[in-house]
Each structure stands twice: as structure tokens, then as C-alpha cells.
Amino acid sequence: MLKKTEFFEENNSNQQADAKKTMEATLQKLQALKSRISELRAHLEELQLQTHIEDQSSLRCDECGRAIEPGEEVEAKNFGENVLHYHKECFQKLWLQ
């Protein structure tokens, strides 16, 4: 009877050791994935910022057609359908008409 108990305890401790190793390996993989996700998010934010800057620099006035400098644009929304961009001067001329 003692031999069965000793075998059971040894077998149980081996299973626990294997389970612990598996869990540690899984946690390491999870940490690596979390790190990779953080890197990808940072890269995505950088790309979005670059795209936003490029979009701003390529805006054209819907009234005169010239390029609009950043900080000089006025956005006009037409009930959520279209977004129009104007120079501040062009928008003032339209508004005063």
C-alpha cells in the first residue's frame, strides 16, 4: 500500500511540474504578444499622425482651388454628407454674400 501512495505522489508532483512549465511558457508567450501589440499600436499611431499631416498639407479650397496652409482652413459640413474646406478669406466672402 505504501508503494501505491508513493507512486501516486510522485506522479502527481510530475504532473504539477509539467503544468507549471506549461503555464510559464504560456505566460511568456502572452507577454511577448502584449509587447508586440504595444509596438504595433505605437506604429499605427505614428502612421495615422503622418497621414493626418499629409492630408492637411494637401487640402484644397473648394472655392478657389488653391492649397490651404495648416491653420488657415475652415471646414463646412453639409448635414453630415459632404465636408467642404475653404480658406478663411474665401469662407468670409461666401458668408457675406
User: Which amino acid is residue 72, in one-letter code?
Assistant: E
Q: Are residues 47 and 69 in the same domain?
A: no
* DSSP-assigned states of every residue in 27-69: HHHHHHHHHHHHHHHHHHHHHHHHHHHHHHHT-B-TTT--B--
What does pTM read for this prediction?
0.44
Verify that 47 and 82 share a domain, yes or no. Answer: no
pLDDT > 50? residue 2: no
Q: Do 53 and 78 sit in the same domain of this protein?
A: no
Which domain does 41 fall in, by range?
1-58
Question: Does 72 share its domain with 44?
Answer: no
Q: Taking residues 60-87, what's their average pLDDT?
A: 74
- Examine the pLDDT at 5 and tell me if it is beyond 70: no
Q: Is residue 51 domain-shared with residue 6, that is, in the same domain?
A: yes
Q: Domain count of the chain?
A: 2
My answer on whether 4 and 49 are in the same domain is: yes
CA distances from 55 to 3, 38, 50, 52, 68 (A): 77, 26, 9, 5, 11
